[in-house]
Amino acid sequence: MFGSLGWQELLIILAILVVLFGASRVGDLGAGLGRGIREFRKEARIPDDEKQDDDAEKAKDEGSSTKA
Q: Where exactly are the structural domains of the chain?
A: 28-54
What local confidence, expressed as pLDDT, does residue 57 receive? Answer: 72
In one-letter notation, the amino acid at residue 29 is: L
What local confidence, expressed as pLDDT, does residue 52 receive? Answer: 66
The secondary structure of 8-30 as a DSSP string is HHHHHHHHHHHHHH-HHHHHHHH
Q: What angle do CA 47, 30, 23 make, to 5 degrees?
A: 170
In the chain, the N- to C-terminal Cα span, in Å, equals 56
pLDDT (tens digit per residue) in 8-55: 998 898 899 889 888 888 888 889 999 999 999 988 887 666 666 666
